[in-house]
Structure 1
Amino acid sequence: MNISGSLTQVLRIEDSSQIGYARRTAQQLAELHGFDERDAGRVALVATELASNLIKHAGHGEIHLRALKRLDGFGIEMLAVDRAQGFDLDACLADGFSTGGTQGIGLGAVSRQAEVFDVYADQRGAVLLARLYPRSDRQPDMPYGVSQHSLHDDPACGDVWHLAYNNGSISALVVDGLGHGEDAERAARAGERAFALTPFAEPTVLMEDMHREMIGSRGGAVAFAQFDGARDQLIFAGVGNIGASLIAADKSRGLASHPGIVGGQYRKARPFDYAHVNGHLLIMYSDGLQSRWNLQDYPGLVHRHPAVIASVLHRDFCRGRDDVTVLVVALEAAHG
């Protein structure tokens, strides 16, 4: 199964008049991706409550919206992101607790509407995740998350990410085309096309395939990680300034890349092997994200859903002067 995605759609929620827009936008995205009237109605309800909760408890914030590609069909992901001083989560989860302008169904009811619901809140703010799938969808949730945003909301993004799952193995890619805008996106997409053909190929061969495909473009930074669930091993290969870390509850390891530009000039990138990584988080990010973050500064965050982790890192460490992609993958051999 190959997964790639579009930019995160950001809906700014600054007053109660924008709640209706969030509801309609989320419902339309669900309908566009095959949700029937009842399932799209669940999406609309959850969007309404998340947006209302932002106004009530944070004053303002953002809804991050995206369609999730599945083996068969799509899901809808919504994240409510704020920078407030946190809120009384237990009260919000209680049924009948009104978040302002709604019927007071409470986030507890939202958690029952969503197939995946998760929250992280501290003194920096809160991130609430809801993933909804059609009732007929019996596929498991895929344990990854991505936060991808272009500079100045440009419709073109020079960052590209791609995930491939195959019988307990995972191959994850991030490409950052040089610069930003359409030319950077063309360079990154060229690399992604080559990667998608053989995502589990021998790393030096795969990097060379991507290099050949990117010649004639601006080129870019490339990194990919191949997790073999049966062997409990990860191989990482990188050229340029894609950051990457392997994170467990008690430790973190940075993954090293080589200098150069894929599609331009680089020396053959020797891959690095890492053993005993089952249960770890793989975090890969373009240089639109600062590198001076540490999940240990966020107690309990390492145990939250990867989509929550990606959004927290984007919220707190986005440089704001380039496209930014944060890809978080839970390395779990059982998922195929």
Structure 2
Amino acid sequence: MDVICRGGETAVVPVEEPSQVGQARRVATQVAAACGFDDTDTGRVALVATELATNVLKHAQRGEIHVAAVPGRGARGVEIVAVDRGPGFNLADCLPDGYSTGGTRGEGLGAVQRQAQVMDMYADARGAVVLARLYARGLGDADIPFGATQTRLRDEPACGDGWGFAISGGEACVLVVDGLGHGPSANEAATACIDAWQAQPLADPVGLMAVLDDAMSGTRGGAVALARYEEGLLRYAGIGNIAGSLQTLEGSRGLASHPGIVGVQARRPQPFDFPGSAGKLLLMHSDGLQSRWSLRDYPGLVNRHPAVATAVLHRDFNRGRDDVTVFALRLEARA
């Protein structure tokens, strides 16, 4: 198994006044320490978090810094995403040192680019999202083209959503689960699902769904969707209200799920096969995200890093009254 990842929540730090820049830096360095970064690499993380948070404050007045540990090929990394609703900017203009839209020295994004192995962004009149991923020094090819943004309902002690993905050679499998409702009982259902999935993540989705149904019995149950990709073929099986789609520049194709509640009342799902999926963007989300969105309204976003796409959708379509998970994976010729 090249990679098996049990996803976690995204840490969200509001940035509305200067002291919160320091908070963003502290959260990012804590994640770096958890990933085993040494002092030098942790310093790189601190610099990137500081620059991105400072840019949000200066150029958009307010926004958020999202921080998460991310799996890579052979290493864990730190993801830092700046999210705002400011006027946007042109990345090519902002990378050279000395350029600024806010009357500052203009060193922020250039410094981020020098420190991060992965940097990407999307900006328009609705705001900007800037992504930086950092791995230990010397790991330039560790990144996997996926993105995941997961947040719990405000004031809840636990998140009732979950996600995971696994890669082995040219095979990849993705799981998204939404425990019924929210809070600790929903979290219990989602945890039971992920525990069972983790034992055989690359199994066929239909048989695996039966295993997950059994594992979630005794909990309140939930919605589950599984996507398995190999050699250009995507197989998808879902029960409940996890939304799935394949995205390209030309448009999107929905991935159907069956009605039911896994662990409570679920029939054997019919799988749907989608040949010719190489190069497309697989996008899955729980119902904490509004369903009426289209990447066509964001020209070029489908070709940005998948983590940029998940952050944009989370910013613009989070319902704000439920846990929310948005997951995206670029389906490569070799996963």
| Global fold match (TM > 0.5) | yes
What is the aligned counterpart of 2:162 among 143, 160, 168? 160
What is the aligned counterpart of 2:210 among 199, 208, 211? 208
CA displacement at 1:85 relative to structure 2: 1.9
In the alignment, residue 250 of structure 2 is paired with which amino acid? D
Q: What corresponds to 1:325 in structure 2?
A: 325
Structure 2: runs of 5+ lacking an equivalent: none
Q: Contact 2:73/2:142 (CA < 8 Å) preserved in 1?
A: no
Further displaced range: 16-25 or 165-174: 16-25
Secondary structure in 2 matching 1:193: helix
Q: What corresponds to 2:50 in structure 1?
A: 48
Listed one character per residue, the Cα deviations across residues 226-278 of structure 1 (whole Å, up to 9, x for unaligned) are: 0012xx11110000000000111112100000000110112211111111000
In the alignment, residue 131 of structure 2 is paired with which amino acid? L
What is the aligned counterpart of 1:106 among 90, 96, 108? 108
Q: Taking every aligned residue pair, what percent have the same amino acid on both sides?
A: 56
Listed one character per residue, the Cα deviations across residues 44-67 of structure 1 (whole Å, up to 9, x for unaligned) are: 111111011101110010000011
In the alignment, residue 11 of structure 2 is paired with which amino acid? Q
Alignment of 1:135-214 (within 5 A): 135-137=137-139, 139-214=141-216
CA displacement at 1:90 relative to structure 2: 3.9
Q: What corresponds to 1:284 in structure 2?
A: 284
Structure 1: runs of 5+ lacking an equivalent: none
Q: What corresponds to 1:59 in structure 2?
A: 61
What is the rounded CA distance, in whole Å, between the counterparts of 2:27 and 2:98 in structure 1?
A: 25
Secondary structure in 1 matching 2:154: helix
CA displacement at 1:5 relative to structure 2: 2.1
Listed one character per residue, the Cα deviations across residues 15-36 of structure 1 (whole Å, up to 9, x for unaligned) are: 1222122222212321232111
Alignment of 1:74-113 (within 5 A): 74-97=76-99, 104-113=106-115
Distance 1:86 1:139, change over 3 A: closer
What is the rounded CA distance, in whole Å, between the counterparts of 2:42 and 2:158 in structure 1?
A: 28
What is the rounded CA distance, in whole Å, between the counterparts of 2:129 and 2:140 in structure 1?
A: 26
In the superposition, the TM-score normalised over structure 1's length comes to 0.95
CA displacement at 1:41 relative to structure 2: 0.7
- Is 1:227 paired with 2:229? yes
What is the rounded CA distance, in whole Å, between the counterparts of 2:251 and 2:92 in structure 1?
A: 30
Secondary structure in 1 matching 2:137: coil
- Is 1:244 paired with 2:225? no
What is the rounded CA distance, in whole Å, between the counterparts of 1:15 and 1:100 in structure 2?
A: 16
Q: Contact 1:159/1:188 (CA < 8 Å) preserved in 2?
A: yes
Distance 1:115 1:253, change over 3 A: same
What is the rounded CA distance, in whole Å, between the counterparts of 2:106 and 2:283 in structure 1?
A: 37
Q: Contact 2:213/2:266 (CA < 8 Å) preserved in 1?
A: no
CA displacement at 1:71 relative to structure 2: 4.8
Q: Contact 1:246/1:255 (CA < 8 Å) preserved in 2?
A: yes
Distance 1:170 1:153, change over 3 A: farther
CA displacement at 1:73 relative to structure 2: 3.7
Listed one character per residue, the Cα deviations across residues 72-115 of structure 1 (whole Å, up to 9, x for unaligned) are: 44210000000112135344312134687986523122112100
Q: Contact 1:239/1:261 (CA < 8 Å) preserved in 2?
A: yes
What is the rounded CA distance, in whole Å, between the counterparts of 1:263 and 1:53 in structure 2?
A: 46
Q: What corresponds to 1:303 in structure 2?
A: 303
In the alignment, residue 313 of structure 1 is paired with which amino acid? L
What is the aligned counterpart of 2:39 among 37, 40, 44? 37
Q: Contact 1:53/1:99 (CA < 8 Å) preserved in 2?
A: no
What is the aligned counterpart of 1:69 among 68, 71, 78? 71
What is the rounded CA distance, in whole Å, between the counterparts of 1:99 and 1:28 in structure 2?
A: 31
What is the rounded CA distance, in whole Å, between the counterparts of 1:137 and 1:153 in structure 2?
A: 38
What is the rounded CA distance, in whole Å, between the counterparts of 2:129 and 2:107 in structure 1?
A: 19
What is the rounded CA distance, in whole Å, between the counterparts of 1:212 and 1:55 in structure 2?
A: 48
